Amino acid sequence: MAERSISDTTNVTVLAALLFFTFATYFASLFDLGWLNTPVGLAISVCKAALIVLYFMHARYSRWLTWVVIVAGVFWVGILFVLTMTDYMSRGW
Amino acid sequence: MSAESVTNAGPVGAEPRNYLNESYGVRSWLLTTDHKRIALLYMVSLTLMFVIGGLMAVLMRLELLTPQGDLFTSDTYNKLFTLHGVIMVWFFLIPSIPAVLGNFFVPLMIGAKDLAFPRLNLLSWYIYVFGALFTFYVVVSGGVDTGWTFYTPFSTDASQTHVVSTTLGIFILGFSSILTGLNFIVTIHRMRAPGLTWFRLPLFIWSIYATSIILVLATPVLAAVLMLVTIERLFHIGIFDPTMGGDPLLYQHLFWFYSHPAVYIMILPGMGVVSELVTCYSRKRIFGYNFVCYATLGIAFLGFLVWGHHMFVAGISVYAAMTFSILSYLVAIPSAIKVFNWTATLYKGSISFKTPMLYALGFIGLFTVGGLTGLFLAALGLDIHVHDTYFVIAHFHYIMVGGMVMAYFGGLHFWWPKMTGRMYPEGWGKLAALVVFIGFNLTFFPQFILGYLGMPRRYHAYAPEFQVLNVMSTAGASILGVGYLLPLIYLLWSLRYGKRAGPNPWLATGLEWTTPSPPPKENFEVTPAVNEEPYNYSEFLPKVFAAEEVEVG
Amino acid sequence: MAGLPDLPLFPERASAAAGQVDTLFFVLLGVTGTVGALVVCVLIFFCVKYRRRSERDVPPRVSNKLLEIGWTVAPLFVFVVLYVWGVNTYFRVLSQPRDALEINVVAKQWMWKFQHPEGQREIDELHIPVGRPVKLVMASQDVIHSFFVPDFRLHRDVLPHRYTEIWFVPTKVGQYHLFCSQYCGTQHSGMTGTVFVMEPQDYQRWLNESAQGSLASRGQALFRKLACNTCHTGDSQARAPMLEGLFGTPVYLQSGETAVADENYLRESIVDPRAKVVAGFQPIMPTFQNQLDEEQVLELIAYIKSLKREREQIPTVSSPAGPQPSPVGDAVRQSESGGQQK
Amino acid sequence: MAESGAVLNRAVLETQFADLEQQRETATFGMWVFLATELLLFGALFLAYTVYRYGAPEGFADASQHMEKVIGAVNTAVLLSSSFMVATAVRGAQVGGRKRLLFGLALTIVLGVVFLFFKGYEYYLHYEDHKVPGLNFEYAGQYAQAAKLFFFFYFAMTGLHAVHMLIGLGLVSVMLVRSWRGVFTEEYHAPVEVVGLYWHFVDLVWIFLFPVFYLIVKHH
C-alpha cells in the first residue's frame, strides 16, 4: 500500500486545534467543577491524543495492522488499570 | 576430510558453503547479523546460565537432605534460591526457545532471508550478555536474598544484599526481551514467503508470535516496577513502604502483571515445538489446526488477566480475588484444547519414537500434570491452604521444567541436524530422555505431597516429618542432573563425530527442511513459495517415496 | 534406628474449615485425576496401537470439528462448577463468627507474638481452647509475613501498617505447626511456632497461670503515660474526639466522608492522625508512629475498644442491683494485683 | 537522475527485504510495536500514580497547587508545536521538499531544547522550594506523605519523559545530519517517518502528564 501524505492545511488545522485544546484544559482547571474536573481534563487530553495519532502519526491513512497495534496497546493498559483498580476500589466493601 | 563425508550426498571432498563455514574467526561471530549465528551465540550463553542455575538447584537439594539447615547458613541458602530463580527465569527460560530455536528457525520456517532487523537482533544478544554480567557480578560479590519475586518492603528496606545490581541486570535484560519480541512480530507479519498465509504457518511460528506479543506488552511493566523498587531502595521515598503512604500490594500487582504472563512466555514456545514434533513423528497433520492457532492466541491474551491468583491470601479484596479466580480457570481451557489436540493427532498416525518424540510425549504428560494442578491453585478455597507451599513449587516446575525444558531439549534434538549438519547419537538420546523423565518425576512429585502437608517454600530448615519426601526429591534431582549432563556431552561429541545429516532426515514438512543442512547464509537459494497447508504429510510422503523409488530404479 | 521413618502423606484435620478445604481438594483431585488419567491412557494406547510398522507408512488425514467444540465447551462447564465450589469454600472459611475469642498477632523478623485479651503474651506459642472460634487480628512490624497453620488449612499474609484478619475453630486437641510462609529474610525458615489446642478447662488453667494484666489495662497505662488523656478528656469541650463508645461506630470526617471506627481506622488515627481528621477538630495530634511498636498500638486499641463496653454497662453498674464487674475493672484489678506480685 | 536514484536505492535497501516499500512498512510497523511497549511502560507508572491518588485525593490536589501551571501550559504548547514541525518535516520528505525537511527538523530540535530548558527551570524552582523527594523534601501541613508521593511520581514520570525527549533529540539530530547529506529521497525516507512517530509519542505522553500533575483542582 502506497503511503499517503498529509497536506499542510491539515497539519496547520490540527496544530490550531491542539493549541486550542491546551488553552481549554488550562481554562477548565481554573474552575471548581466538583468531581468533573478530572474527567474533563482527561477527555480533552484524549481528544488531543486522538488528533496526533490520527493525523501527525498518519494512523488515519494507515493499514489495519497499525490499528491493531494501537488498539492492543490501549487495551492492554486498560487491562492493567481495570483489574488493579478492581482490587483497590472494592477493598473497603 | 573425515570418512563420514564420503557417505554424504554432497560433493566429495569439499563441504558445501553454509552459514558455519562462510567465514571464520571471532570477529565473524561477534559482529554477525546472521540470525543463525546469533541463535548459536544465544545457545552457548544460555547453556552457561542453565548450568549455573542448575548447580544452585543441586546445592539447594543437598541442603534439604536433612531437616536441620546444616550444609549452608540460612543466608547462603536464601541467596541460592534467589539466584536460582533469577537465573533460570530471566536468563534461561524466558529467552530459551525464542532466542535459540526461534531465532534460528523463524526466518527459515517462513522462507525469509533473515529477521526484519538483523542488527537489532545482535544488539539483543549483547544486551542479554550485559544483563548477565550484572548477575555474575551479584553472584561474585556476595549474592542477593530477596527471592526472585523481590517482594517489598523486604527488597526495599530489609534486605542487606545486592538488590539494586540484580534488579538493574533484569531491567537491562528486559530490553533484550522486548527487542527480540518486536523483531519476531515484525518479521512474522512482514517477511513471510509468497503464498505463506497465516493459516499455512507452522504452529511453532504461531506460538513464537503469541510469545512475542506477551514479551512486548508485559516486559515494560516489569521494567517500570523494577525501576520503582530500585529508586525506593536507594532513596526511601515510600513508594511501597506502608509507613510512608505506599502500598506493598501495588508492587505485587505490577510485578505479577508481568510475571504471570511470563509463565506463558516460557510455556507457549514449548507448545509450539511440541506441535512440530508430534506431527512429524506421527506423520499427521495436527488435529484441529485452527483450534490450536486460536488457543495459542487465547493463552497469550487470557494469560494477562489472571495475575491476581498469586495474591489470593495477600490482602486483596475478596471481589478482586473472585474475578481473578474465574479468569484463571478460563486460561486453562486453551491449554486443555492443546493437550487434547496433540493426543488426537496420534490417532491413526504412524508413530516413531525418536528422541525428540520421547521428549514431546514426556512434555504432554508432565504439562498435563502441571496444568491440572494449576486448577487447584486457582480454586480460592484451596489456595488458602496450598499457597506458598511446595505444592506451588511442584506445580510450576512441572510446567517450567517438565514442560519448557523438555520441549527445549526435544526441539534441540529435532533441529540439531539442521543447525549443525550432524546427527546426534540416537541411543544416547533416548537414554537421556528416559533418565530426565524419571529423574524429573522423582524430584518433583514428592513436592506435591510435601506442599499439601504444609511445607512452606523457601525453607532452609524444615520439620523432621518432611524428611523422607525431601530425600526422595534430592535423589530425583541427582538423576535429573545426570539426565541433563548426558546431552551436553553427546551433542558436543556429535559436532565432530556425528553422522552427517541430509537436508531432511526426519521426512518432515516445513520450509526449513527444504534447504541444505546446515543452511547457507542466505537460507534459501531461491525464495520459496508456499501453496499448501502445513503438516500435509498425507500428500508430502507419497511424493517423497515415489522420488526415492525413481532414484533407486 | 527405630523402625520405619516418619512418613506422613496427609496433614491432620484440626479445624472446622479443614474438612471443607479437603473436600474441595478431593473433588478437584477426582476431576483432574480422571481427566489426566484419561489423557495419559489414551496417549499410551495410541502410542502402542499406531506405532510405526513400516517406514513407508502414510497415515490418513483425520479431523472432527464436533469433537473440537465438545472438548472446548465441556471444560468450561466443569470449571464453572469448580469455581463456584472454590468461592463457596473461600467465603465459608472467611466469613467471621460473632463471638470469637480475639487474639492479637504481631509478626516481626523472625518471631510471632501473641496477645490474649486477658493480657497473656506469648512468643512463637499460641494457646487456644478447642471448639471455640478464634479470631486473629494480625499486623507486621517490618516486612510481609504469612500466618500458616497447615493442619487448620489456613493462610493469610501479615502486612505492615495494616491489619489482616483470619479466624478458625480448632476441633482437635493437640500441637500444630505454625509457619511463616511468606519469605521474610535470613531466619524465614526459623519463624515457626506451635499452636497448642487445649481442653477449655486446661486453657482456663493456663490463662490463670500466665496472667499478667489484660491488654486493655496495659493500654490504659500507656494511654496515661503518653498523656493522651490531656486532649482525649472524654467531655464534649475537649480538643480531641471522645473515645468512649467509639469503636464500631461511624465517624464523620473533615473531608465529608464517613469512616467506620474499626481496628484499621484506630490504628491509622494513632500512627498517622492527620490522614483522617474527625469533623470539627483541628489536626493537632502528633504522630506516634516511631514511638510505639505494633504491640503497644494493639494495647491502645484494646483500651479504646474496652471504653465502649464500659459505657454500655454504665446503667448496669449504677443500678441498685449492685455493681457488676466490667472487663476493664477486672483488668485494672488484675494488673494491680500483678503489680503487687512483683 | 533516475539511474542515480536506483543506485542510491540499492545502497539503502537491506538484503533481507525484497524492495524499499517492504523495508519502509517494516520499519514503521516496528516502531509502532515499540510504541506499544512504551505505552505499557508509562501505563504502569500512570497506574501507580492513579492508585495513590485514589488513596489520597486531597493530598494530591494540595500538592498540585505547588506546580508551575503556566510554565506547564507553555511547555505543552511548545511540545505540540514541535510535533507539528516533525509532521512538516515528514511531509517535506514525502514530497521531496528538502528545504522543508531540513527546516522542520531544525525547528523540532529548537523547540525540543526550549521544552527541556523550561523543564529544567521548573525542576530548579522545585529544588529551591524543597520539593525533591530523596533530596530535600519538606512539606508543611497534613498532606506531607501524599505530597511526597505526588512529587516523586512527578519527578519520576516527567524525568522519564525528559529522557525520552533527549533520545528523541538525538534521533532527530541524526536525521538532520543525514538529510543535510541528501540521504533521503522521495522513495527512501523511512527513518524520518520512524523518528517522527517516536517524537509524536513522546508528545502524547506529555499531553497526559500535563493535566494529571499540573491541573488538579482543589475542591473547597
Would you say residue B14 has pLDDT above 70? no
Beta-carbon separation of B313 and C56 below 8 A: no
- CA distances in angstroms from B221 to A74, B155, B383, D40, D45, listed in the order given: 14, 18, 26, 6, 8
Residue with cell 506451635: C194
Average pLDDT, chain C: 82
Q: Give the pLDDT score at C340.
A: 36
Q: Give the pLDDT score at C282.
A: 82
Would you say residue C327 has pLDDT above 60? no
When CB atoms are compared, the residue of A6, A32, A33 closest to D220 is A32
Residue type, C167: W
Q: Could you give the number of structural domains in chain A?
A: 2
Beta-carbon separation of B326 and C187 below 8 A: no
Q: How far is D48 from chain C (nearest CA, A)?
A: 19
Q: Give the pLDDT score at B42.
A: 97
Residues A52 and A91 placed together within one structural domain of the fold: no
Does A53 lie at the interface with D, CB-CB under 8 angstroms?
yes
Query: Which residues of chain B make contact with A82, given a CB cutoff of 8 A?
Result: none
CA-angle at C144, arms to C139 and C148, nearest 5°? 80
- CA distances in angstroms from D109 to D88, D90, D112, D172, listed in the order given: 13, 14, 5, 7
H-assigned helices in B64-102? 74-86
Q: How far is B185 from chain A (nearest CA, A)?
A: 11
When CB atoms are compared, the residue of B189, B249, B319 closest to A86 is B319
Tell me phi and psi for residue B106, to 5 degrees: -60, -50
Tell me phi and psi for residue C112, to 5 degrees: -110, 130
Does A49 lie at the interface with D, CB-CB under 8 angstroms?
yes
Average pLDDT, chain B: 93
Residues A71 and A57 placed together within one structural domain of the fold: no
Hey, is B154 helix, strand or coil?
A: helix
Would you say residue A45 has pLDDT above 50? yes
Q: How far is B316 from chain A (nearest CA, A)?
A: 6
Dist CA B147 CA B279 (whole Å): 39
When scoring C269, C271, C274, C285 by the number of chain D Cβ atoms within 10 A, the one with the most, hence best to mutate, is: C274
Confidence bin at B221 (pLDDT 50/70/90): very high
Residues A40 and A79 placed together within one structural domain of the fold: no
Would you say residue B226 has pLDDT above 90? yes
- CA distances in angstroms from B115 to B331, D25, D36, D183, listed in the order given: 31, 14, 20, 24
Q: Give the pLDDT score at A1.
A: 39
pLDDT > 70 in chain B, percent: 97
Tell me phi and psi for residue C167, to 5 degrees: -145, 160
Query: Which residues of chain D make contact with B112, given a CB cutoff of 8 A?
Result: 16
Parent domain of A86 = 63-93
- State the virtual CA torsion across A35, A37, A43, A46 in degrees, nearest 10: -120
Would you say residue B408 has pLDDT above 80? yes
CA closest to B317 among chain A residues: A91
Beta-carbon separation of D38 and B182 below 8 A: no
Dist CA B2 CA A84 (whole Å): 63
Instruction: Provide the number of CB pairs (under 8 Å) joining chain C to chain D.
Output: 8
Residues A58 and A76 placed together within one structural domain of the fold: no
Tell me phi and psi for residue C101, to 5 degrees: -75, 120
Would you say residue A3 has pLDDT above 60? no
Residues A26 and A2 placed together within one structural domain of the fold: yes
When CB atoms are compared, the residue of A22, A42, A74 closest to D80 is A22
The full length of chain A comes to 93
Dist CA C25 CA C7 (whole Å): 20
User: What's the grid cell of residue B242?
Assistant: 506502608
Residues A68 and A45 placed together within one structural domain of the fold: no
- The full 3-state SS of chain C, as one line of letters, equals CCCCCCCCCCCCCCEHHHHHHHHHHHHHHHHHHHHHHHHHHHHHHHHHHCECCCCCCCCCCCCCHHHHHHHHHHHHHHHHHHHHHHHHHHHHHHCCCCCCEEEEEEEECCEEEEECCCCCEEECEEEEECCCCEEEEEEECCCCEEEEEHHHCEEEEECECCCEEEEECECCCEEEEEEECCCCCCCHHHCCEEEEEECHHHHHHHHHHCCCCCHHHHHHHHHHHCCHHHCCCCCCCCCCCCCCCCCCCEEEECCCCEEECCHHHHHHHHHCCCCCCECCCCCCCCCCCCCCCHHHHHHHHHHHHHHHHHHHCHHHHHCCCCCCCCHHHHHHHHHHHHHHHC
Beta-carbon separation of A72 and B217 below 8 A: yes
Residues A43 and A73 placed together within one structural domain of the fold: no
Helix (H) or strand (E) segment spanning residue A44: helix A37-51
Q: How far is B253 from chain A (nearest CA, A)?
A: 7
Beta-carbon separation of C274 and D142 below 8 A: yes
All domains of chain D in start order, with CATH: 24-214 (1.20.120.80)
Query: Which residues of chain B make contact with C167, given a CB cutoff of 8 A?
Result: none
Dist CA B545 CA B232 (whole Å): 66
Confidence bin at C308 (pLDDT 50/70/90): low
Interface ipTM: 0.90
Confidence bin at D11 (pLDDT 50/70/90): low
C8-27 pLDDT, tens digit each = 889 999 999 999 999 999 99
Q: What is the mean pLDDT of residues A16-26?
A: 94
**The CATH number of domain B31-552, selected from 1.10.1040.10, 3.20.10.10, 2.40.50.140, 1.20.210.10:** 1.20.210.10
Hey, is B311 helix, strand or coil?
A: coil
Confidence bin at D78 (pLDDT 50/70/90): very high
C71-96 pLDDT, tens digit each = 889 999 999 998 998 888 888 887 77
When scoring B385, B452, B462, B538 by the number of chain C Cβ atoms within 10 A, the one with the most, hence best to mutate, is: B385
Q: 10 Å Cβ neighbour count for C82?
A: 24
The pTM of this model reads 0.89
When CB atoms are compared, the residue of A7, A32, A80 closest to D219 is A32
Would you say residue D8 has pLDDT above 80? no
Are C305 and C216 spatial neighbours (Cβ–Cβ below 8 Å)?
yes
Residues A58 and A69 placed together within one structural domain of the fold: no
Average pLDDT, chain D: 91
The dihedral built from the CA positions of residue A48, A52, A53 and A54, taken in this order, carries a sign that is: positive
Q: Give the pLDDT score at D134.
A: 87
Q: Give the pLDDT score at D199.
A: 97
Please state whether B114 falls in left (phi above 0), alpha (psi between -120 and 50) or beta.
beta
Q: What is the mean pLDDT of residues C149-156?
A: 92
Q: Give the pLDDT score at C65.
A: 87
Are D139 and D96 spatial neighbours (Cβ–Cβ below 8 Å)?
no
User: What's the grid cell of residue C62?
Assistant: 483425520
DSSP 8-state secondary structure symbol assigned to residue B519: P
Q: What is the mean pLDDT of residues B273-299?
A: 95
Q: Give the pLDDT score at C324.
A: 36
Does C287 lie at the interface with D, CB-CB under 8 angstroms?
no
When scoring D210, D212, D214, D219 by the number of chain A Cβ atoms within 10 A, the one with the most, hence best to mutate, is: D210
Would you say residue B99 has pLDDT above 60? yes
Residues A91 and A52 placed together within one structural domain of the fold: no
Would you say residue B69 has pLDDT above 90? no
Q: Give the pLDDT score at C216.
A: 79
Beta-carbon separation of D142 and C283 below 8 A: yes
Would you say residue C98 has pLDDT above 80? no
Confidence bin at D120 (pLDDT 50/70/90): very high
Query: Which residues of chain B make contact with D48, given a CB cutoff of 8 A?
Result: 224, 228, 239, 250, 254
Q: What is the mean pLDDT of residues D47-61?
A: 93
Residues A70 and A51 placed together within one structural domain of the fold: no
Are B539 and B507 spatial neighbours (Cβ–Cβ below 8 Å)?
no
- State the virtual CA torsion across B253, B259, B261, B263 in degrees, nearest 10: -140
The dihedral built from the CA positions of residue B522, B524, B525 and B530, taken in this order, carries a sign that is: negative
Residues A20 and A48 placed together within one structural domain of the fold: yes
- Give the β-pairing of C164-168 and C125-129: unpaired
Instruction: Provide the number of CB pairs (under 8 Å) joining chain A to chain B.
Output: 39
Q: Give the pLDDT score at C225.
A: 83
pLDDT > 90 in chain B, percent: 89
Dist CA B240 CA B155 (whole Å): 10
D-contacting chains (≥3 CB pairs under 8 Å): A, B, C
User: What's the grid cell of residue C7?
Assistant: 512418613
When CB atoms are compared, the residue of A65, A83, A87 closest to B305 is A83
Beta-carbon separation of D142 and C255 below 8 A: no
Q: Give the pLDDT score at C239.
A: 80
Strand partners, C139: C106
Are B146 and B202 spatial neighbours (Cβ–Cβ below 8 Å)?
no
Residues A55 and A70 placed together within one structural domain of the fold: no
Confidence bin at B302 (pLDDT 50/70/90): very high
